[in-house]
Amino acid sequence: MRGKEEVPGIRRAAAQYEVADRIVDLSTFDVTQNPWRCGDLFDAIITDPPYGVRAGAKRLGRKKPTKKGIVERTTAAPRPDGQPYIPPTKPYELSELAVDLILLARHMLRPGGRLVFFLPTVNEDYTEVDVQSMLCDGMKVIANSLQDFGSWGRRLITVRKTSTESYPRPSFASFANAEDSGTPQEDHVPAHKDFREKYFRGFKRDDEQAP
């Protein structure tokens, strides 16, 4: 976490919000490369994923596949200048992130557990299908409330794990992986897809852009 003053970090942010005494422990990692080795651990997951306005979501990986013959550098192969290895990252599109988040929650939550997260969306384009299309088997939306900012808003989504089954750890391989998600994939484009680009062009449609 970054900051302009003092030492940035999660604990300093928690102290500013006066919740530091509620932190048992913490760790930071790429959710697609998470350290959890078993599921059914948590009663609730509460999160506010980045949606690109202040800080874009990223995940580990290269934007383009590594060329044949080039060896991926790891911590076992240090940089020539002696600096620590910083793995490459690539953009994590919001609609893909949201689907993966629900898949991960299904794996990590106990039966009856809940996932709560904010989802930004374009108000004019939003439909209930946007949220329903993110769901996978064993997960059900039980609350969906809007914080309206005019052209856009953010929805507080609460999803409950309704199944008593234990699900495998998601592969995070592809948004279109219907076998992994347990849901039929449709051609529906949700209003939160490419939200960052829509935000910075003022939510104007392509046919409204200046020539």
**Do the beta carbons of residue 138 and residue 106 sit within 8 Å?**
yes
- Cβ partners under 8 Å of residue 107, min gap 6: 39, 167, 168, 169, 170
Tokens of 53: 């306005």
The answer to whether the predicted template modeling score (pTM) of the entire model surpasses 0.85 is: no
> Residue 200: what pLDDT?
87
> Residue 73: what pLDDT?
54
> Residue 178: what pLDDT?
46
- Cβ partners under 8 Å of residue 209, min gap 6: 201
> Residue 83: what pLDDT?
76
Q: What is the pLDDT along the chain (211 residues), one digit of tens a residue?
A: 455 666 667 888 889 999 999 988 888 888 888 898 899 999 999 999 888 777 778 888 887 765 655 555 555 566 677 777 788 888 888 899 999 999 999 999 999 999 999 999 999 999 999 999 999 999 999 999 999 999 999 999 999 999 999 999 998 875 544 444 454 455 789 999 989 889 888 888 765 555 5
**Do the beta carbons of residue 163 and residue 211 sit within 8 Å?**
no
The domains found in the chain, sorted by start residue, are 10-204 (3.40.50)
Residue recorded with tokens 């913490």: 26
Element (H, E) at 10: helix 10-16
Rounded to an integer, what distance in angstroms lies between the CA atom of residue 30 and that of residue 198?
25
